[in-house]
Structure 1
Amino acid sequence: MKAIICNQFGLPDSLIFGELQDPKPAKNQILIAVEACGVNFPDVLIIQGKYQFKPELPFSPGGEVAGKVIELGEGVTQFQVGQSVLALCGWGGFAEKVAVDVDRVFAMPPGLSPEIAATTLYTYGTSFHALKERAKLQEGETLLVLGAAGGVGLAAVELGKLMGAKVIGAASTDEKLELCREKGASETINYTSEDLKTRIKELTGGKGVDVIYDPVGGDFTEAALRGIAWKGRYLIVGFANGEIPKIPMNLPLLKGCAILGVFWGQFSKLEAKQSFQNIAQLVQWIKAGKIEQHIRKRYSLEESPQALQALLDRKMLGKGVVLI
């Protein structure tokens, strides 16, 4: 089968387009003919050997796919050959076929296109879990989203607005901030030209923000934390900046705030029932037109490394998708 191949850990330009042996489904696995694969920041980390999991070389990146079932492994009875599904494979999605554990496969809801299905789970699943289970965001609260024009950030802006919060979107360019306003941010901060802490205080009348959603890390984390409200909740989602920040621990004490980790992949495994309920709610909102994925660009399989480079360069507004 044709695939994007990682033969050694490195940057996107080290990936090659070539042939890999067709996978075979093991016990309790499903073989999927991939139609679309979402492009996500963990893909950038996994090809560099920097993610929580390290697959054996060679492998294909791509962890969020939609396609059709073409073969069932031993013990699989809940799916049928020919059925449309979406799946969280971790890696292997930038290829024509991928074998996935059955507990990471979901029946495709009617009316959902493969490209929308393959770009929804990571971004909206992560952001909904973060705001709902971890922050327990309440109607009328103020939510600050860092990296607000990226995949998970834009989903957090849209979901925060839908959940009744006042949303402040923070990003690095005016183009990105305009997209944030289109998705529901009532206020924006350009943190390359404005002081983040000062602007937070100005926009909240000195109170600070109730919830901070941070998929960026780096220097912005401490500045944002200094602008959090009393008993605020700070969500650690990721480190797109490339730097894991060191937080002065006197700040949570002085603010009476909570710092909460968001690891949606682990949540979806350990709390599968709640994760399924969240996904069902997201699908309902998508079909009702209440949320809509912003797909920045569509790529061919051979162009997949370009999609990962755009993520690495922080030039991807919204979400990219590879169509196979």
Structure 2
Amino acid sequence: MTEIEVPTPKPGEIRVRVAACGLNFADLLMVKGTYQDTPDCPFVLGMEVSGVVDSLGEGVENFAPGDRVAVFGGQGGLAEMACFDAKRAVHLPDTMDFTTAAAFQIAYGTSHIALDHRAKLLPGETLLVLGAAGGVGLTAVEIGKLMGATVIACARGSDKLKAAKAAGADHLIDARTQDIRAEVKALGGADVVYDPVGGEQWEAAFRACKPEARLLPIGFASGDVPQVKANHLLVKNLTVLGVYWGGYLAFRPDILTGSLATLMAWHGDGRLKPHVSHTYPLEKAAEGLALLRDRKSTGKVVITIQDM
């Protein structure tokens, strides 16, 4: 913990009094310097926040002091005050509290763009979700079910599988004790694979795919980045579709804003029920990151900064 000067918003920025910050596996990668968007040191961790607009930089017109917002800033969230590009902020609906908002954008946004925009998941298809009780995995189960798929959830241990079941999973596989490939093939195989884990689980899921299946590498929580053999793609007519949610900010921000509008509407209608397994105050942020590192959380971990 360090005391720093309160930042002044630059042109095009808003300053936010931060209420809550959602933690992500990417924060751990930033600590190690291995994330694709790790900023130069020193920097403040915390990719996504919620809070109240405090002041405006020159040229900002669509926000006003006092507005409730959620922001995907990429960094800076584990602080009481932070400045962000206004283009990265969205207004919060009255139905969404700050803790939920801090847990919402990356996890739900990643899964929605992966399943809808990239894989074009169809009703009646079979979706296999690896890491199904994690921050993004749980949202993939929920959104996949909303989109009409039969969802196979794979996670480690009964407690995590219970969370996946509550999110709508039709079938459960315990990655600790069961053979993923055999279990999925017994259920007819997978049309779409959603994988934030990588490693051996990717290999097992790859071999359990139906012809013309689509595989979505979301991340590599196992630490093992799998290598794909092109001849295997050819033989089964498989497609691998990379998904980096934050990357759309650079080349198709309209995809992100459209997706978030859909997700916010679904939440307002009561169709999405975000799961936050742990909340910690700012001074215990390291404990929250340890939960992610040790895979002891389900859904999201949120750091609460200040009451509003």
TM-score bracket relative to the smaller structure: over 0.9
User: Is it true that 1:300 corresponds to 2:281 in the alignment?
Assistant: yes
- Matched with 2:268 is 287
CA distance in 2, matches of 1:26, 1:243: 40
Match status 1:197 vs 2:181: yes
Deviation at 1:21, TM superposition (A): 2.1
SS in 1 for 2:26: helix
Please identify runs of 4+ aligned residues in structure 1 that moved more than 2 A.
247-250
Matches within 5 A, 1:83-98: 83-98=67-82
Give 1:230-245 correspondences, 5 Å limit.
230-245=211-226
TM alignment of 1:172-321, pairs within 5 A = 172-204=156-188, 208-321=189-302
Alignment match, 1:10: none
Q: What is the alpha-carbon distance in structure 2 between the residues aligned to residue 89 and residue 48 of structure 1?
A: 19
Stretch deviating more after TM superposition (48-57 or 152-161): 48-57
Instruction: Indicate yes or no: 2:141 matched with 1:157.
Output: yes
Question: Which letter maps to 2:102?
Answer: A
The separation in 2 between residues aligned to 1:302 and 1:280, in whole angstroms, is 33
Give, in whole Å, the separation in 1 of the partners of 2:232 and 2:285: 41
* Separation in 2, partners of 1:200, 1:278: 30
Paired with 1:235 and 1:57, the residues of 2 have a C-alpha distance of 31
| SS of aligned partner of 1:143 | strand
3-state SS in 1 of match to 2:21: strand
Counterpart pick for 1:170 among 151, 154, 173: 154
- Counterpart code for 1:100: F
Separation (CA, whole Å) in 2 of partners of 1:97 and 1:166 = 43
Partner residue of 1:64?
Answer: 48
- Once the two structures are superposed, residues 76-98 of structure 1 have per-residue CA deviations (whole angstroms, 9 ceiling, x without a partner) of 11111111111011011000011
Paired residue type of 2:268: K
Aligned partner of 1:283: which letter?
Answer: M
TM-aligned CA deviation for residue 187 of structure 1 = 0.4
Q: CA deviation at 1:316?
A: 1.2
Q: Which has the larger displacement, 274-283 or 306-315?
A: 274-283
How far residue 190 of structure 1 moved from its aligned partner, in angstroms, is: 1.0
Q: CA RMSD in A?
A: 1.0
Q: Distance in 1 between matches of 2:71 and 2:293?
A: 24
2:211 aligned partner, one-letter code: W
Q: CA offsets per residue over residues 25-79 of structure 1, 9 Å max, x none?
A: 1111111110011111111111111111222222211010011111111111111
Alpha carbons 1:225, 1:251 under 8 Å: kept = no
What secondary structure sits across from 1:18 in the alignment? coil
How far does the alpha carbon of each residue in 1:265-284 deviate from its partner, in whole angstroms, 9 at most, with x for none?
A: 11244222232121111111
With normalisation by structure 2, the TM-score equals 0.97
Match of 2:99 in 1: 115
Secondary structure at the aligned position of 2:128 is classed as strand
The whole-number CA distance in structure 2 between the counterparts of 1:321 and 1:235 is 26
TM-score by length of 1: 0.92
Greater shift, 237-246 or 128-137, is seen at: 237-246
Aligned counterparts of 2:11 and 2:41: Cα–Cα separation in 1 = 22
CA distance, structure 1, for counterparts of residue 249 and residue 128 of structure 2 = 25
- d(CA) in 1 for partners of 2:41, 2:8: 17
Shift of residue 219 of structure 1?
Answer: 1.4
Secondary structure of 2:256 counterpart: helix
Tell me the residue number matched to 2:26. 42
Amino acid at match of 1:125: G
Q: Percent same amino acid at aligned positions?
A: 43
User: Could you give the per-residue CA deviations for residues 194-223 of structure 1, whole angstroms, max 9, x where no partner exists?
Assistant: 11111111112xxx2100000001111111
Name the SS for the 2:168 alignment partner: coil
1:226–1:251 Cα contact (<8 Å) kept: no
- Corresponding residue for residue 9 of structure 1: none
- Structure 2 portions without partners, runs of 5+: none
